[in-house]
Chains A and B, each alone.
Chain A
Amino acid sequence: MAISNILHLGIKELRSLLRDPVLMIFIVYAFSLSIYAVATAMIDSLNNAPIAIVDDDRSPLSMRIVDAFYPPYFLPPVLIEQHEIDARMDMGIDTFALHIPANFQRDLLAGHQPVIQLNIDATRMGQAFTGNNYVQSIVSGEIDAFVQRHRQESVTPVDLVLRAKFNSELNSQWFGAVMEVINNITMLSIILTGAAIIREREHGTLEHLLVMPVTPFEIMASKVWAMALVVITATALSLWLVVQTWLAVPIQGSVWLFLLGTLFHLFATTSLGIFLGTVARSMPQFGLLLVMILLPLQVLSGASTPRESMPDIIQYIMLLAPDTHFVMLAQSILYRGAGFTEVWAQFLVLILLGSVLFGLSLSRFRKTIASMA
């Protein structure tokens, strides 16, 4: 093994990348505008939810209820007629439709316990759950306040003081920005290394390398370090310039510790990229393999929905993916300000997974080469 070979072959990779302006533009876009777009699309988990209200009562109480819905949680409510509910929900205009029946206020004060109907478009799972809680508590809050003015005070004896730690406003922007950085780290590192291997094969340059005093290990290691360098640089710049400065997301823990973790993660993902590059025989095959790997990684790593809610079997399978551990590590460090003592386990697993993937890829790479020429 020669360090200098690994160094110079790696420099060659970097030079190749610089020659492809479209690719460079894509990389810059991925770590800047794309992050910005994802982060700012949803500021809160319930944001601008579209709601329509059918007010058949037209009483002071019903008007109070209508006025209680306002941005940012809800869009200003649209007042509609009852027969419009179905059509509007069918077309996906409203997620919520609240129906206040006629004589609601009168029945309420008379103690008849009238019923308000809340229609929820349950195909929009995200908003349906959270929104239901919000609508219920807003409406009952208004009713309680209204009732209290007409009846004697009834004190709730136990007060629940709820505080959200690490992100007291439950601001989605913070979450989205960093998770998008993570998704792009994985995506870029796998594509760059895998495609680099296939390109060398398609252009016959790999064969050329093999008649020189260069070992497969050196070829592979050079790609790993060069691509990892590109991704980690993009990550660091993106964290500082886009996430911390542009989006003003407060980062709790040490960015350096996170970058160290990213390095271990990249060791695993670049190895995975090379593995895919040896499995696929051509670039089109690689493209499809990529989709089949990237999508589950993105959706099931815990970066978009919480891991706990996934079926057990999926949770276990996803433990084999470096992404899962990287997401845990990133969430701990960046959001919860965890130090090394809290995340050492993830570091260990990433090193382990990385070594296994690197070993696997190396043996496959050797075999591919032997059968190639």
Chain B
Amino acid sequence: MTALALSALDDNRQVAVLKNISLCYGKTQALDDLSLNIPAGIMVGIIGPDGVGKSSLFSLISGAHAIQQGTIEVLGGDMRKTKHRQKVCPRIAYMPQGLGKNLYHTLSVFENVDFFGRLFGLNRFEREQRITDLLEATGLTAFADRPAGKLSGGMKQKLGLCCALIHDPELLILDEPTTGVDPLSRRQFWSLIKRIRSDNPAMSVLVATAYMEEAADFDWLVAMNQGRVLTTGTPQQILEQTGTSSLESAFIALLPEALRNRHQPVVIPQRRESSHDEFAIEADNLTRRFGHFTAVDQVSFRIPRGEIFGFLGSNGCGKTTTMKMLTGLLAASEGHARLFGKTIDPHDLSIRQRVGYMTQSFSLYGELTVKQNLDLHARLFKLPSHSIAARIDEMAKRFELEAVLDSLPDALPLGQRQRLSLAVAMIHGPEMLILDEPTSGVDPIARDVFWQIMVDLARQDGVTIFISTHFMNEAERCDRISLMHAGRVLVTDTPENLKKARNAASLEDAFVDYLQEEVRRQENLQITDESAKNSIKTNNKNDTPSASLTGFSLRRLYSYSRRETLELVRDPIRLTMAMLGTLLLMFVVGYGISLDVEDLKFAVLDADQSATSRDYTLNLSGSRYFIEQPVLYSHAEIEQRMQSGELSLAIEIPYGFGRDLARGRPVEIGAWIDGSMPTRGENIRGYVQGMHSHWLTMKSREILGSSVTAQPATIEARFRYNPDVKSLVAMVPAMIPLLLMLILSMLTALSVVREKELGSIVNLYVTPVSRLEFLLGKQLPYIVLGMLNFVLLVLFAVFIFQVPLTGSFLTLTFAALLYVVCATSLGLLISAFTRSQIAALFGTALLTLIPAVQFSGMIDPVSSMQGLGRWIGEVYPATHFLTISRGVFSKGLSYSDLHSAFIALFIAVPVLMLVGVMLLKKQER
């Protein structure tokens, strides 16, 4: 411990003071009446088994999660108070658990750091300087343009650190920052932290870690169990207190009796070598290329049955790719691999039955409980159904999952989730286990339990185990290990031989030695420790960030806009669909919807068969509205042919029609209309009546002479705004509101809920960005997109569909702007309260498609509707933009004629936005 740190401890200054904190997730008690004073200016480590509440503690201190019970003071203020949170969150940096969870995968390394820089109000100059420093110090300079999603785990963690350090925080909170990071990167990571601290001694660092070797270097430790603090003190004090020599054993000694008793040192019996053993895994010059990049380069190894084979290597060296090729998930570009002597065939299901595989990232169903997950996999692997319950119990006991059987995996800490993944991989008792970093994030006791299980499986049941790990003490338990780097296997041997070959005291030293040699050999990559000599300059405290950190900030808003734009631009398929999709839809629907009812099929039951009756039929079939079908012979046929939908109209002319008419006797013609589609029915009724009276007039003139039946008065119908009564003229202006609403709300509806589902929403919780800045920032690019779309649609309407724009284009554009804001706000609103992307999709389809098509007056005016539909139509923004659009297109109107519709849009904008902001939570609850 440094003298500086000791003096800080003596100072008795506190960075955080927690009093009687309790926290529950549903029924699970994460923190239980916890009180703790965390000293300022030093490096504090929190250690404890999985699920004891370390992450919960951090999310409370950082302000990401709302406080349920108790009080927390951070940096001298109450974290319950929104005002204080706003004030201090620029001074806190929080890096959540999980590899790169708060990063944006489509953005490059530079853009990610830049995004956070803007959020914290740094101006361009400050940002550039600091990003250069940080990337240099973390060795990421060479990768500045690489998308974050394509980085290896270790690099993601370093990037996460850069993002956390961009604003020079006073309190740095790191939740298991080195979990899943290889030993070399881990060393680099800690030396980086050390340098940052030496540059800025006032900074307090709070770390949770599963590596006890790391914890030994911290200034002050907090040991936790079951939501409570067991003890606190310097590592030295804790060792003295427990009378142990290593932190690992001290940690075990600190645990309560019951837990402690469960722990037994791993015993590894000698492996019985038998030369005639067949090989379980054989790889022969296995190679895999992605484009120009060779991920795995001629890897060969042979693993006999029953061996525990360790696979070590730096992050991104190709371990996972190799494993995927072994499981048949990926096809090899060159070379081949055999399992149990059989060449891997992705279609061979029987081999999968014999292999258990656990992926690096958690890949079980978050929506199913622990028990349901186990049950599903047991059934998929065809365990006899009567033995499933017993097997689940057995696995739950082995992996200590009994207490959480009915919880959802998402609510569990990383370590417990890993154990669940393992239990799932082993549920069918496979002959081979392929495990990709199975113990990352698992606490020491659970790791030992897990290893004992594996050793038993290997030694007693002859199960072959192929495992990758970053823990050196685990590597030492393997029969043989392979060291991999940059796609190639450097060496394969027993741990003992490797240490001997390098004259190293520990396997870790040997490992780092091998890697450094390889890195030096390649020369193009330099070790960060040596290359980055320049230190990271801290901001001068007087030099306050250029933007104010409280109140509304355009820079933070712009930061989110930029991010959203970049993501949109990086996805050309989505962009194209958003721009051209509307045009295509306008074409198809505008052309397809026709309200002129024509080409109706009718048939006649003509019992008269006279010249007069035929003349009557001709009168109908000669019009453009009706098409005659084969004649009818009976009433039963009328019934049947109308039922099948073949006929929309049936006419019955009675026997003696012509004769009776000539004699002036009253006669009746029967007409049956298919009423199943009422609008069409009404139209048919109108046509038939019209043609009937027309025919009568003609007949009367023939019989009685021309003078008789002159109309006493005429009604002159003027179809205004659309004199030719063309559907296109009516429909095209109505399509613009419909299409803009559908496409824009769909685009924005996923933007927030997606961050929730993928984890980056935490940036909203812990950075100074306000909810309004967040939403507006996300909205802005879509507003621009919407306006471009609008212009395209208008051009299309005028030039392709030839619908004249008779009114003021300026008025229409202004209305479109308001409307586009409404449509995007509606999407964001839906996004703010849904939990899953599926729900957001369905909700958006439901809340835009139906009201916009049915209630906004596209076909029938809102004033003619009633009930709930009328009410929806009155308030729905599409209704009002539709009035404006039709008004400007067909009626030649301008702003002054349409102000009532404008007022409705003016009101809708702030209402939609406000509701969106209110539904969005600034803290997790």
Known: A170-B678, A175-B678. A40 touches B836 (CB 8 A): no
Check: A149 CB closer than 8 A to any chain B CB. Answer: no
**How many Å lie between the Cα of A191 and that of B849 in the bound state?**
14
Further pairs besides A162-B673, A167-B678: 5, Cβ < 8 Å: A20-B838, A116-B715, A161-B671, A306-B677, A336-B642
Question: Which chain B residues lie closer than 8 Å to A175 at the CB level?
Answer: 676-678
Contact A308 B597 (CB under 8 A): yes
Contact A16 B365 (CB under 8 A): yes
Contact A311 B327 (CB under 8 A): no
Check: B667 CB closer than 8 A to any chain A CB. Answer: yes
Question: Which chain A residues lie closer than 8 Å to B597 at the CB level?
Answer: 129, 306, 308-309
Q: Mark A155-179, 1 if CB is under 8 A from B, else 0.
A: 1111111111111111110110000
Contact A50 B644 (CB under 8 A): no
* SS of B interface (majority): helix
Question: Which chain A residues lie closer than 8 Å to B364 at the CB level?
Answer: 205, 208
**How many Å lie between the Cα of A199 and that of B757 in the bound state?**
10
Interface residues of A in 83-124 (CB under 8 A from B): 87, 89-93, 95, 104, 108, 111, 113-124
Total interface residues in chain A, CB < 8 Å: 155
Nearest 4 interchain pairs by C-beta:
A41-B869, A133-B686, A164-B675, A167-B675
Pick the contact of A22 from B573, B839, B853 — CB < 8 Å?
A: B839
Contact A125 B731 (CB under 8 A): yes
Interface residues of A in 165-219 (CB under 8 A from B): 165-172, 174-175, 180, 183, 187-188, 191-192, 195-196, 198-199, 202-205, 207-215
> Which of B59-67, B71-79, B246-254, B884-892 is the interface stretch?
B884-892
Question: Which chain A residues lie closer than 8 Å to B758 at the CB level?
Answer: 202
Interface size class of B (residues with CB under 8 A): 35 or more
Check: B453 CB closer than 8 A to any chain A CB. Answer: no
Known: A162-B688, A163-B671. A213 touches B349 (CB 8 A): yes
Check: A326 CB closer than 8 A to any chain B CB. Answer: no
Check: B718 CB closer than 8 A to any chain A CB. Answer: yes
**How many Å lie between the Cα of A371 and that of B720 in the bound state?**
58
Check: A244 CB closer than 8 A to any chain B CB. Answer: no
Check: A285 CB closer than 8 A to any chain B CB. Answer: yes
Pick the contact of B859 from A2, A92, A125, A199 — CB < 8 Å?
A: A125
Contact A288 B675 (CB under 8 A): no
Check: A43 CB closer than 8 A to any chain B CB. Answer: yes
Which residue of chain B has its CB nearest to the CB of A34?
A: B850
Check: B260 CB closer than 8 A to any chain A CB. Answer: no
Contact A213 B382 (CB under 8 A): yes
Check: A236 CB closer than 8 A to any chain B CB. Answer: no
> Which of A256-264, A291-299, A348-356 is the interface stretch?
A291-299
> Which of B85-93, B177-185, B483-491, B580-588 is the interface stretch?
B580-588
Pick the contact of B599 from A159, A183, A308 — CB < 8 Å?
A: A308
Known: A203-B363, A283-B841. A113 touches B676 (CB 8 A): no
**Cβ contacts A to B, 7 pairs, < 8 Å:** A16-B367, A75-B864, A116-B715, A157-B696, A158-B692, A195-B838, A283-B841
B663 CB, min distance to chain A CBs, angstroms: 10
Contact A207 B329 (CB under 8 A): yes
**How many Å lie between the Cα of A155 and that of B661 in the bound state?**
12
Contact A288 B746 (CB under 8 A): yes
Contact B849 A294 (CB under 8 A): yes
Contact B838 A163 (CB under 8 A): no
Known: A161-B670, A287-B844, A338-B644. A211 touches B352 (CB 8 A): yes
Check: A70 CB closer than 8 A to any chain B CB. Answer: no
**How many Å lie between the Cα of A342 and that of B379 in the bound state?**
44
Contact B352 A213 (CB under 8 A): yes
Q: Mark B866-910, 1 if CB is under 8 A from A, else 0.
A: 111110110000000001001100110100011010000000000
**How many Å lie between the Cα of A8 and that of B595 in the bound state?**
48
Known: A158-B667, A337-B643. A41 touches B689 (CB 8 A): no
Contact A128 B864 (CB under 8 A): no
Question: Which chain A residues lie closer than 8 Å to B839 at the CB level?
Answer: 20, 22-23, 26
Check: A33 CB closer than 8 A to any chain B CB. Answer: yes
Question: Which chain B residues lie closer than 8 Å to A117 at the CB level?
Answer: 715-716, 718
> Which of B232-240, B353-361, B503-511 is the interface stretch?
B353-361
B44 CB, min distance to chain A CBs, angstroms: 34
Check: A300 CB closer than 8 A to any chain B CB. Answer: yes
Which residue of chain B has its CB nearest to the CB of A318?
A: B592
Pick the contact of B591 from A87, A314, A335 — CB < 8 Å?
A: A314
Known: A89-B720, A204-B361. A290 touches B746 (CB 8 A): yes
Check: A319 CB closer than 8 A to any chain B CB. Answer: no
Question: Which chain A residues lie closer than 8 Å to B861 at the CB level?
Answer: 50, 92, 95, 124, 127
Which residue of chain B has its CB nearest to the CB of A284?
A: B750
Contact A331 B676 (CB under 8 A): yes
Question: Which chain A residues lie closer than 8 Å to B155 at the CB level?
Answer: none
**How many Å lie between the Cα of A338 and that of B352 in the bound state?**
51
Known: A166-B676, A287-B750. A130 touches B581 (CB 8 A): no
Question: Which chain A residues lie closer than 8 Å to B855 at the CB level?
Answer: 37-38, 41
Contact B868 A159 (CB under 8 A): no
Contact A121 B721 (CB under 8 A): yes
A17 CB, min distance to chain B CBs, angstroms: 8
Check: B258 CB closer than 8 A to any chain A CB. Answer: no
**How many Å lie between the Cα of A164 and that of B686 in the bound state?**
12
**How many Å lie between the Cα of A340 and that of B900 in the bound state?**
53
Check: B843 CB closer than 8 A to any chain A CB. Answer: yes
Q: Mark B365-389, 1 if CB is under 8 A from A, else 0.
A: 1111000100011011110000000
Check: A126 CB closer than 8 A to any chain B CB. Answer: yes
Contact A123 B886 (CB under 8 A): yes
Check: B4 CB closer than 8 A to any chain A CB. Answer: no
**How many Å lie between the Cα of A126 and that of B366 in the bound state?**
49
Contact A308 B686 (CB under 8 A): no
Contact B365 A332 (CB under 8 A): no
Contact A288 B592 (CB under 8 A): no
Contact A332 B645 (CB under 8 A): yes
Question: Which chain A residues lie closer than 8 Å to B644 at the CB level?
Answer: 332, 336, 338, 342-343
B769 CB, min distance to chain A CBs, angstroms: 22
**How many Å lie between the Cα of A36 and that of B866 in the bound state?**
11
